[in-house]
Structure 1
Protein backbone atom coordinates (compact mmCIF):
# COMPACT_ATOMS: atom_id res chain seq x y z
CA UNK A 1 0.00 0.00 0.00
CA UNK A 2 2.74 2.47 0.94
CA UNK A 3 4.65 1.65 -2.24
CA UNK A 4 1.51 2.27 -4.32
CA UNK A 5 1.12 5.66 -2.64
CA UNK A 6 4.77 6.45 -3.38
CA UNK A 7 3.96 6.38 -7.11
CA UNK A 8 1.23 9.01 -6.80
CA UNK A 9 1.53 12.76 -7.28
CA UNK A 10 1.26 15.16 -4.36
CA UNK A 11 -2.24 16.25 -5.45
CA UNK A 12 -3.40 12.63 -5.70
CA UNK A 13 -1.96 11.88 -2.26
CA UNK A 14 -3.83 14.83 -0.74
CA UNK A 15 -7.06 13.62 -2.33
CA UNK A 16 -6.53 10.04 -1.12
CA UNK A 17 -5.69 11.11 2.44
CA UNK A 18 -8.59 13.57 2.53
CA UNK A 19 -10.99 10.85 1.34
CA UNK A 20 -9.61 8.49 3.97
CA UNK A 21 -10.18 11.00 6.78
CA UNK A 22 -13.67 11.92 5.55
CA UNK A 23 -14.71 8.25 5.35
CA UNK A 24 -13.42 7.63 8.89
CA UNK A 25 -15.32 10.68 10.13
CA UNK A 26 -18.56 9.60 8.45
CA UNK A 27 -18.26 6.08 9.84
CA UNK A 28 -17.49 7.38 13.34
CA UNK A 29 -20.42 9.80 13.40
CA UNK A 30 -22.83 7.28 11.84
CA UNK A 31 -21.82 4.48 14.22
CA UNK A 32 -22.04 6.73 17.26
CA UNK A 33 -25.41 8.14 16.19
CA UNK A 34 -26.73 4.61 15.66
CA UNK A 35 -25.75 3.59 19.21
CA UNK A 36 -27.34 6.72 20.68
CA UNK A 37 -30.54 6.21 18.69
CA UNK A 38 -30.81 2.62 19.93
CA UNK A 39 -30.49 3.72 23.56
CA UNK A 40 -32.36 7.02 23.53
CA UNK A 41 -34.63 6.69 20.49
CA UNK A 42 -33.38 9.92 18.96
CA UNK A 43 -30.59 10.89 16.60
CA UNK A 44 -28.16 13.66 17.65
CA UNK A 45 -28.22 16.78 15.45
CA UNK A 46 -24.99 18.70 14.81
CA UNK A 47 -24.89 22.49 14.82
CA UNK A 48 -23.33 24.52 11.99
CA UNK A 49 -20.45 25.41 14.32
CA UNK A 50 -19.71 21.75 15.01
CA UNK A 51 -19.81 20.95 11.29
CA UNK A 52 -17.36 23.76 10.47
CA UNK A 53 -14.85 22.64 13.10
CA UNK A 54 -15.27 19.03 11.97
CA UNK A 55 -14.36 20.05 8.42
CA UNK A 56 -11.31 22.01 9.62
CA UNK A 57 -10.18 19.04 11.74
CA UNK A 58 -10.45 16.75 8.70
CA UNK A 59 -8.32 19.10 6.61
CA UNK A 60 -5.66 19.30 9.33
CA UNK A 61 -5.69 15.52 9.86
CA UNK A 62 -5.16 15.17 6.12
CA UNK A 63 -2.12 17.45 6.37
CA UNK A 64 -0.79 15.40 9.29
CA UNK A 65 -1.29 12.15 7.34
CA UNK A 66 0.52 13.66 4.35
CA UNK A 67 3.39 14.84 6.57
CA UNK A 68 3.70 11.39 8.12
CA UNK A 69 3.84 9.77 4.70
CA UNK A 70 6.59 12.13 3.53
CA UNK A 71 8.55 11.46 6.74
CA UNK A 72 8.31 7.73 5.97
CA UNK A 73 9.46 8.32 2.38
CA UNK A 74 12.55 10.17 3.59
CA UNK A 75 13.42 7.57 6.22
CA UNK A 76 12.54 9.57 9.33
CA UNK A 77 9.73 7.13 10.14
CA UNK A 78 10.27 3.40 9.67
CA UNK A 79 7.97 0.38 9.91
CA UNK A 80 8.38 -3.38 9.99
CA UNK A 81 5.90 -5.24 7.80
CA UNK A 82 6.06 -8.87 8.93
CA UNK A 83 2.97 -10.27 10.64
CA UNK A 84 4.26 -12.03 13.75
CA UNK A 85 4.27 -11.74 17.55
CA UNK A 86 5.69 -8.23 17.21
CA UNK A 87 2.35 -7.12 15.80
CA UNK A 88 0.71 -7.72 19.18
CA UNK A 89 3.57 -6.42 21.32
CA UNK A 90 3.98 -3.32 19.17
CA UNK A 91 0.26 -2.63 19.36
CA UNK A 92 0.31 -2.89 23.17
CA UNK A 93 3.41 -0.70 23.36
CA UNK A 94 1.89 1.92 21.06
CA UNK A 95 -1.45 1.77 22.89
CA UNK A 96 0.10 2.37 26.32
CA UNK A 97 2.74 4.86 25.14
CA UNK A 98 0.17 7.01 23.35
CA UNK A 99 -2.18 6.73 26.33
CA UNK A 100 0.51 8.12 28.62
CA UNK A 101 1.66 10.78 26.15
CA UNK A 102 -1.88 12.01 25.52
CA UNK A 103 -2.66 11.98 29.25
CA UNK A 104 0.35 14.27 29.89
CA UNK A 105 -0.51 16.47 26.91
CA UNK A 106 -4.16 16.68 27.97
CA UNK A 107 -3.30 17.34 31.62
CA UNK A 108 -0.81 20.03 30.59
CA UNK A 109 -3.42 21.83 28.50
CA UNK A 110 -5.82 21.90 31.45
CA UNK A 111 -3.17 23.30 33.77
CA UNK A 112 -1.99 26.15 31.55
CA UNK A 113 -3.41 29.15 29.71
CA UNK A 114 -3.84 26.84 26.71
CA UNK A 115 -7.09 25.62 28.23
CA UNK A 116 -8.75 29.02 28.04
CA UNK A 117 -7.65 29.84 24.51
CA UNK A 118 -7.52 26.38 22.92
CA UNK A 119 -9.07 23.43 24.74
CA UNK A 120 -12.09 25.24 26.18
CA UNK A 121 -13.66 25.00 22.73
CA UNK A 122 -13.94 21.22 23.06
CA UNK A 123 -15.37 21.55 26.56
CA UNK A 124 -18.17 23.81 25.37
CA UNK A 125 -19.96 20.49 24.89
CA UNK A 126 -20.60 19.12 28.38
CA UNK A 127 -22.91 16.47 26.94
CA UNK A 128 -20.90 15.46 23.85
CA UNK A 129 -22.15 13.72 20.72
CA UNK A 130 -20.05 11.72 18.20
CA UNK A 131 -19.23 14.72 15.99
CA UNK A 132 -17.62 16.44 18.99
CA UNK A 133 -14.75 13.97 18.67
CA UNK A 134 -13.74 16.17 15.72
CA UNK A 135 -14.61 19.53 17.27
CA UNK A 136 -11.17 20.72 18.33
CA UNK A 137 -9.24 23.97 18.13
CA UNK A 138 -6.89 23.79 15.09
CA UNK A 139 -3.83 24.18 17.34
CA UNK A 140 -4.98 21.25 19.47
CA UNK A 141 -5.45 19.08 16.39
CA UNK A 142 -1.94 19.96 15.24
CA UNK A 143 -0.60 19.31 18.74
CA UNK A 144 -2.05 15.80 18.86
CA UNK A 145 -0.80 15.22 15.30
CA UNK A 146 2.73 16.28 16.22
CA UNK A 147 2.60 13.97 19.24
CA UNK A 148 1.55 11.09 16.99
CA UNK A 149 4.31 11.70 14.44
CA UNK A 150 6.89 12.06 17.22
CA UNK A 151 5.85 8.66 18.58
CA UNK A 152 6.36 7.05 15.16
CA UNK A 153 9.70 8.80 14.81
CA UNK A 154 11.22 7.50 18.05
CA UNK A 155 10.38 3.83 17.47
CA UNK A 156 9.97 1.57 14.44
CA UNK A 157 6.53 0.00 14.96
CA UNK A 158 5.02 -2.90 13.09
CA UNK A 159 2.80 -1.43 10.37
CA UNK A 160 -0.11 -3.80 11.07
CA UNK A 161 0.09 -2.80 14.75
CA UNK A 162 -0.21 0.85 13.72
CA UNK A 163 -3.33 0.11 11.66
CA UNK A 164 -4.89 -1.81 14.55
CA UNK A 165 -4.08 1.05 16.93
CA UNK A 166 -5.65 3.63 14.61
CA UNK A 167 -8.81 1.52 14.42
CA UNK A 168 -8.96 1.17 18.20
CA UNK A 169 -8.34 4.91 18.54
CA UNK A 170 -11.42 5.72 16.46
CA UNK A 171 -13.55 3.23 18.44
CA UNK A 172 -12.44 4.87 21.69
CA UNK A 173 -13.16 8.30 20.27
CA UNK A 174 -16.69 7.29 19.33
CA UNK A 175 -17.32 5.62 22.69
CA UNK A 176 -16.02 8.59 24.67
CA UNK A 177 -18.35 11.03 22.92
CA UNK A 178 -21.64 9.16 22.99
CA UNK A 179 -23.04 11.01 25.99
CA UNK A 180 -24.40 7.65 27.16
CA UNK A 181 -22.84 4.46 28.54
CA UNK A 182 -23.56 1.55 26.17
CA UNK A 183 -21.81 -1.10 28.29
CA UNK A 184 -23.44 -2.56 31.44
CA UNK A 185 -21.69 -2.12 34.79
CA UNK A 186 -21.04 -5.87 35.11
CA UNK A 187 -18.79 -5.64 32.04
CA UNK A 188 -16.99 -2.49 33.17
CA UNK A 189 -16.11 -4.02 36.55
CA UNK A 190 -14.48 -7.18 35.22
CA UNK A 191 -10.68 -7.68 35.62
CA UNK A 192 -8.68 -5.70 33.04
CA UNK A 193 -11.84 -4.11 31.61
CA UNK A 194 -12.20 -1.95 34.71
CA UNK A 195 -8.95 -0.21 33.80
CA UNK A 196 -10.15 0.84 30.36
CA UNK A 197 -11.55 4.26 29.60
CA UNK A 198 -15.32 4.13 29.04
CA UNK A 199 -17.95 6.54 27.83
CA UNK A 200 -18.84 7.25 31.47
CA UNK A 201 -15.17 7.88 32.30
CA UNK A 202 -14.74 10.48 29.54
CA UNK A 203 -18.21 11.97 30.03
CA UNK A 204 -17.22 12.68 33.64
CA UNK A 205 -14.27 14.65 32.29
CA UNK A 206 -16.58 16.78 30.13
CA UNK A 207 -18.75 17.55 33.15
CA UNK A 208 -15.80 18.01 35.55
CA UNK A 209 -12.65 19.37 33.87
CA UNK A 210 -10.47 18.63 36.92
CA UNK A 211 -10.46 14.83 36.57
CA UNK A 212 -10.19 11.87 34.18
CA UNK A 213 -7.63 13.14 31.66
CA UNK A 214 -6.84 9.69 30.24
CA UNK A 215 -7.98 8.42 26.88
CA UNK A 216 -7.74 4.66 26.58
CA UNK A 217 -7.28 3.71 30.22
CA UNK A 218 -7.80 5.19 33.66
CA UNK A 219 -4.42 3.89 34.83
CA UNK A 220 -2.58 7.22 34.69
CA UNK A 221 -5.43 9.08 36.39
CA UNK A 222 -5.36 6.57 39.24
CA UNK A 223 -1.57 6.71 39.41
CA UNK A 224 -1.40 10.53 39.42
CA UNK A 225 -4.55 10.90 41.56
CA UNK A 226 -6.74 12.68 38.99
CA UNK A 227 -9.30 9.88 38.79
CA UNK A 228 -12.95 10.20 39.78
CA UNK A 229 -15.37 7.27 39.27
Structure 2
Protein backbone atom coordinates (compact mmCIF):
# COMPACT_ATOMS: atom_id res chain seq x y z
CA UNK A 1 0.00 0.00 0.00
CA UNK A 2 1.28 3.45 -0.90
CA UNK A 3 2.12 5.54 2.15
CA UNK A 4 1.52 8.93 0.57
CA UNK A 5 -0.63 10.68 -2.00
CA UNK A 6 0.41 13.14 -4.67
CA UNK A 7 -0.82 16.71 -4.90
CA UNK A 8 -2.88 15.74 -7.96
CA UNK A 9 -4.50 12.87 -6.06
CA UNK A 10 -5.18 15.11 -3.06
CA UNK A 11 -6.79 17.73 -5.30
CA UNK A 12 -8.98 15.14 -6.97
CA UNK A 13 -10.00 13.59 -3.65
CA UNK A 14 -10.70 17.02 -2.18
CA UNK A 15 -12.93 17.92 -5.13
CA UNK A 16 -14.83 14.65 -4.77
CA UNK A 17 -15.39 15.08 -1.03
CA UNK A 18 -16.43 18.70 -1.46
CA UNK A 19 -18.90 17.79 -4.20
CA UNK A 20 -20.41 14.97 -2.11
CA UNK A 21 -20.74 17.26 0.92
CA UNK A 22 -22.16 20.13 -1.12
CA UNK A 23 -24.68 17.92 -2.93
CA UNK A 24 -26.05 16.31 0.23
CA UNK A 25 -26.26 19.72 1.91
CA UNK A 26 -27.95 21.28 -1.11
CA UNK A 27 -30.27 18.33 -1.66
CA UNK A 28 -31.47 17.83 1.91
CA UNK A 29 -31.56 21.50 2.94
CA UNK A 30 -32.84 22.65 -0.44
CA UNK A 31 -35.68 20.14 -0.70
CA UNK A 32 -36.73 20.77 2.91
CA UNK A 33 -36.64 24.53 2.39
CA UNK A 34 -38.62 24.32 -0.84
CA UNK A 35 -41.35 22.06 0.57
CA UNK A 36 -41.83 23.59 4.01
CA UNK A 37 -40.75 27.20 3.54
CA UNK A 38 -42.09 27.82 0.02
CA UNK A 39 -44.33 25.27 -1.69
CA UNK A 40 -46.40 24.06 1.33
CA UNK A 41 -45.72 27.03 3.55
CA UNK A 42 -49.37 27.82 4.29
CA UNK A 43 -50.31 24.19 4.80
CA UNK A 44 -47.57 23.68 7.41
CA UNK A 45 -47.83 27.08 9.11
CA UNK A 46 -49.65 25.66 12.14
CA UNK A 47 -46.70 23.31 12.65
CA UNK A 48 -44.06 26.04 12.79
CA UNK A 49 -42.14 25.95 16.03
CA UNK A 50 -41.62 29.72 15.91
CA UNK A 51 -44.42 31.41 13.99
CA UNK A 52 -42.35 34.36 12.82
CA UNK A 53 -39.96 33.88 9.87
CA UNK A 54 -36.33 35.05 9.94
CA UNK A 55 -35.17 37.84 7.64
CA UNK A 56 -33.52 36.88 4.35
CA UNK A 57 -30.17 38.23 5.54
CA UNK A 58 -30.07 35.47 8.17
CA UNK A 59 -30.66 32.83 5.48
CA UNK A 60 -27.81 34.29 3.44
CA UNK A 61 -25.54 34.08 6.50
CA UNK A 62 -26.50 30.43 7.01
CA UNK A 63 -25.66 29.54 3.41
CA UNK A 64 -22.37 31.47 3.50
CA UNK A 65 -21.08 29.69 6.59
CA UNK A 66 -22.42 26.34 5.38
CA UNK A 67 -20.40 26.60 2.17
CA UNK A 68 -17.30 27.29 4.24
CA UNK A 69 -18.12 24.23 6.34
CA UNK A 70 -18.36 22.10 3.18
CA UNK A 71 -14.81 23.19 2.27
CA UNK A 72 -13.54 22.23 5.73
CA UNK A 73 -15.34 18.87 5.77
CA UNK A 74 -13.78 18.07 2.39
CA UNK A 75 -10.32 18.78 3.80
CA UNK A 76 -11.01 16.39 6.67
CA UNK A 77 -11.98 13.76 4.09
CA UNK A 78 -8.61 14.16 2.38
CA UNK A 79 -6.87 13.78 5.72
CA UNK A 80 -8.70 10.52 6.41
CA UNK A 81 -7.84 9.20 2.95
CA UNK A 82 -4.16 10.06 3.44
CA UNK A 83 -4.15 8.39 6.87
CA UNK A 84 -5.69 5.27 5.39
CA UNK A 85 -3.10 5.21 2.60
CA UNK A 86 -0.42 5.31 5.26
CA UNK A 87 -2.07 2.40 7.08
CA UNK A 88 -3.14 4.32 10.17
CA UNK A 89 -6.93 3.85 10.00
CA UNK A 90 -9.12 0.77 10.32
CA UNK A 91 -11.13 1.49 7.16
CA UNK A 92 -11.67 -1.69 5.13
CA UNK A 93 -13.08 -2.15 1.62
CA UNK A 94 -13.86 -5.87 1.41
CA UNK A 95 -17.35 -6.51 2.85
CA UNK A 96 -16.48 -10.17 3.39
CA UNK A 97 -13.84 -9.18 5.94
CA UNK A 98 -16.48 -8.50 8.59
CA UNK A 99 -19.82 -9.45 7.03
CA UNK A 100 -23.17 -7.68 6.72
CA UNK A 101 -24.02 -8.16 10.38
CA UNK A 102 -21.01 -6.16 11.44
CA UNK A 103 -21.77 -3.56 8.76
CA UNK A 104 -25.15 -2.95 10.43
CA UNK A 105 -23.63 -2.97 13.90
CA UNK A 106 -20.89 -0.52 12.92
CA UNK A 107 -23.46 1.87 11.45
CA UNK A 108 -25.49 1.85 14.67
CA UNK A 109 -22.34 2.16 16.78
CA UNK A 110 -21.21 5.15 14.75
CA UNK A 111 -24.58 6.88 15.21
CA UNK A 112 -24.58 6.26 18.98
CA UNK A 113 -20.95 7.39 19.27
CA UNK A 114 -21.72 10.56 17.32
CA UNK A 115 -24.70 11.32 19.52
CA UNK A 116 -22.48 11.10 22.60
CA UNK A 117 -19.67 13.04 20.97
CA UNK A 118 -22.06 15.77 19.85
CA UNK A 119 -23.71 16.18 23.24
CA UNK A 120 -20.47 16.67 25.14
CA UNK A 121 -18.70 18.82 22.55
CA UNK A 122 -21.89 20.87 22.34
CA UNK A 123 -21.86 21.38 26.11
CA UNK A 124 -18.19 22.36 25.84
CA UNK A 125 -18.93 24.92 23.14
CA UNK A 126 -21.54 26.52 25.39
CA UNK A 127 -18.96 27.38 28.03
CA UNK A 128 -18.92 31.21 28.09
CA UNK A 129 -15.21 31.44 27.30
CA UNK A 130 -15.63 29.11 24.31
CA UNK A 131 -19.06 30.12 23.02
CA UNK A 132 -18.16 33.59 21.71
CA UNK A 133 -15.19 32.30 19.71
CA UNK A 134 -16.60 29.00 18.40
CA UNK A 135 -20.35 28.46 18.70
CA UNK A 136 -21.77 31.97 18.47
CA UNK A 137 -21.94 31.85 14.65
CA UNK A 138 -24.33 28.89 14.72
CA UNK A 139 -26.53 30.75 17.20
CA UNK A 140 -26.86 33.75 14.94
CA UNK A 141 -29.78 31.63 13.70
CA UNK A 142 -32.17 32.25 16.60
CA UNK A 143 -34.95 31.02 14.32
CA UNK A 144 -33.11 28.56 12.04
CA UNK A 145 -33.96 27.38 8.56
CA UNK A 146 -32.79 24.13 6.93
CA UNK A 147 -29.84 26.12 5.53
CA UNK A 148 -28.49 26.43 9.09
CA UNK A 149 -27.60 22.72 9.16
CA UNK A 150 -23.92 23.41 8.37
CA UNK A 151 -23.78 27.06 9.46
CA UNK A 152 -20.69 26.84 11.68
CA UNK A 153 -17.66 28.93 12.51
CA UNK A 154 -14.58 27.21 10.99
CA UNK A 155 -13.41 26.13 14.45
CA UNK A 156 -16.79 24.55 15.16
CA UNK A 157 -16.78 22.88 11.74
CA UNK A 158 -13.51 21.17 12.69
CA UNK A 159 -14.99 20.02 15.99
CA UNK A 160 -18.17 18.79 14.29
CA UNK A 161 -16.13 16.81 11.75
CA UNK A 162 -13.97 15.26 14.48
CA UNK A 163 -16.17 12.23 15.09
CA UNK A 164 -15.25 10.51 11.80
CA UNK A 165 -11.45 10.83 12.10
CA UNK A 166 -11.81 9.60 15.68
CA UNK A 167 -13.91 6.56 14.82
CA UNK A 168 -11.85 5.37 11.82
CA UNK A 169 -8.93 4.91 14.21
CA UNK A 170 -11.02 3.06 16.81
CA UNK A 171 -13.12 0.52 14.88
CA UNK A 172 -13.24 -1.10 11.42
CA UNK A 173 -15.52 0.96 9.16
CA UNK A 174 -16.45 0.33 5.55
CA UNK A 175 -16.78 3.27 3.12
CA UNK A 176 -20.44 2.27 2.66
CA UNK A 177 -21.00 2.70 6.40
CA UNK A 178 -19.35 6.12 6.32
CA UNK A 179 -21.37 7.19 3.29
CA UNK A 180 -24.69 6.09 4.81
CA UNK A 181 -23.77 7.73 8.08
CA UNK A 182 -23.09 11.03 6.31
CA UNK A 183 -26.52 10.85 4.67
CA UNK A 184 -28.27 9.97 7.94
CA UNK A 185 -26.42 12.76 9.76
CA UNK A 186 -27.41 15.28 7.09
CA UNK A 187 -31.06 14.27 7.18
CA UNK A 188 -31.29 14.49 10.97
CA UNK A 189 -29.37 17.77 11.00
CA UNK A 190 -31.81 19.33 8.55
CA UNK A 191 -34.73 17.96 10.58
CA UNK A 192 -33.40 19.70 13.68
CA UNK A 193 -33.25 23.01 11.80
CA UNK A 194 -36.46 22.51 9.82
CA UNK A 195 -38.47 25.11 11.74
CA UNK A 196 -41.53 22.85 11.55
CA UNK A 197 -42.53 19.81 13.57
CA UNK A 198 -43.34 16.83 11.29
CA UNK A 199 -43.78 14.26 14.08
CA UNK A 200 -47.39 13.55 15.14
CA UNK A 201 -49.03 14.69 18.36
CA UNK A 202 -48.38 12.18 21.11
CA UNK A 203 -45.03 11.16 19.62
CA UNK A 204 -43.22 11.96 22.87
CA UNK A 205 -45.55 9.61 24.75
CA UNK A 206 -44.36 6.62 22.70
CA UNK A 207 -41.35 4.51 23.71
CA UNK A 208 -39.47 5.51 20.56
CA UNK A 209 -40.45 9.16 20.86
CA UNK A 210 -39.20 9.46 24.42
CA UNK A 211 -35.73 8.43 23.27
CA UNK A 212 -35.62 10.33 19.99
CA UNK A 213 -35.22 14.06 19.42
CA UNK A 214 -37.57 16.22 17.39
CA UNK A 215 -37.40 19.41 15.36
CA UNK A 216 -39.01 21.25 18.27
CA UNK A 217 -36.26 20.06 20.60
CA UNK A 218 -33.39 21.62 18.65
CA UNK A 219 -35.39 24.68 17.59
CA UNK A 220 -35.93 25.52 21.25
CA UNK A 221 -32.17 25.26 21.76
CA UNK A 222 -31.69 27.94 19.11
CA UNK A 223 -34.46 30.10 20.50
CA UNK A 224 -33.35 30.00 24.16
CA UNK A 225 -29.61 29.30 23.60
CA UNK A 226 -29.40 26.77 26.42
CA UNK A 227 -30.79 23.32 27.20
CA UNK A 228 -31.67 20.63 24.64
CA UNK A 229 -28.07 19.85 23.70
CA UNK A 230 -28.64 16.41 22.16
CA UNK A 231 -28.51 15.49 18.48
CA UNK A 232 -30.26 12.24 17.51
CA UNK A 233 -31.51 10.89 20.83
CA UNK A 234 -33.01 12.34 23.99
CA UNK A 235 -30.87 10.18 26.26
CA UNK A 236 -28.02 12.42 27.42
CA UNK A 237 -30.35 15.38 27.96
CA UNK A 238 -32.53 13.17 30.16
CA UNK A 239 -29.59 11.72 32.09
CA UNK A 240 -27.98 15.13 32.65
CA UNK A 241 -31.23 17.01 33.28
CA UNK A 242 -30.67 19.43 30.39
CA UNK A 243 -33.98 19.13 28.58
CA UNK A 244 -35.77 22.47 28.46
CA UNK A 245 -38.44 22.50 31.17
CA UNK A 246 -41.14 23.43 28.63
CA UNK A 247 -40.01 21.03 25.88
CA UNK A 248 -42.85 18.50 26.10
CA UNK A 249 -45.43 21.24 26.55
CA UNK A 250 -44.09 23.12 23.53
CA UNK A 251 -44.00 20.00 21.37
CA UNK A 252 -47.61 19.15 22.18
CA UNK A 253 -48.71 22.74 21.53
CA UNK A 254 -46.97 22.83 18.14
CA UNK A 255 -48.28 19.43 17.01
CA UNK A 256 -51.80 20.37 18.06
CA UNK A 257 -51.56 23.75 16.28
CA UNK A 258 -51.65 25.69 19.53
CA UNK A 259 -48.66 27.92 20.20
CA UNK A 260 -47.76 28.76 23.83
CA UNK A 261 -49.50 31.91 25.09
CA UNK A 262 -46.16 33.64 25.71
CA UNK A 263 -45.08 33.12 22.11
CA UNK A 264 -48.46 34.30 20.82
CA UNK A 265 -48.05 37.54 22.75
CA UNK A 266 -44.58 38.04 21.33
CA UNK A 267 -45.84 37.54 17.81
CA UNK A 268 -48.66 40.05 18.28
CA UNK A 269 -46.22 42.63 19.56
CA UNK A 270 -43.72 41.99 16.75
Fold-level match, TM-score > 0.5? yes
What residue in structure 2 maps to residue 51 of structure 1?
63
- For 2:147, the equivalent position in structure 1 comes to 131
Q: Which residue is equivalent to 1:191?
A: 207
Q: What's the C-alpha RMSD, in Å, of the aligned pairs?
A: 2.3
1:156 aligned onto 2:178: no
- Correspondence for 1:208: 224
Hey, what does 1:19 align to over in structure 2? 19
Q: Give the equivalent residue in structure 1 for 2:41.
A: 40
Secondary structure in 1 aligned to 2:17?
helix
1:86–1:158 CA contact under 8 A, matched in 2? no
Q: Which runs of 5 or more structure 1 residues have no equivalent in the other structure?
A: 1-5
CA distance in structure 2 between the aligned counterparts of 1:215 and 1:205, rounded to whole angstroms: 11
Name the stretch that deviates more: 209-218 or 161-170: 161-170
- 1:86 maps to which residue? 102
Deviation at 1:51, TM superposition (A): 3.0
With 85-94 and 97-106 compared, the bigger mean Cα shift is at: 85-94
Partner secondary structure for residue 207 of structure 2: coil
Give yes or no for the alignment of 1:76 onto 2:102.
no
Moved more, 24-33 or 197-206: 24-33
Q: Does 1:64 align with 2:76?
A: yes
Structure with bigger gyration radius: 2
Number of positions where the alignment pairs a residue of Structure 1 with one of Structure 2: 224
Structure 2: unaligned runs, 5 residues or longer = 46-52, 248-270
Aligned 8 A contact 2:63 2:148 in 1? no
Instruction: Provide the rounded CA distance (Å) in 1 between the counterparts of 2:59 and 2:237.
Output: 32
Q: Tell me the alpha carbon deviations over residues 65-102 of structure 1, each in whole angstroms, 9 at most, x when there is no partner.
A: 11111112112212244241112211111111110011
> Whole-Å Cα distance in 2 between the matches of residues 175 and 144 of structure 1?
17
Query: What is the distance in 2 between the residues matched to 1:62 and 1:166?
Result: 12
- 1-structure distance, mates of 2:100, 2:63: 41
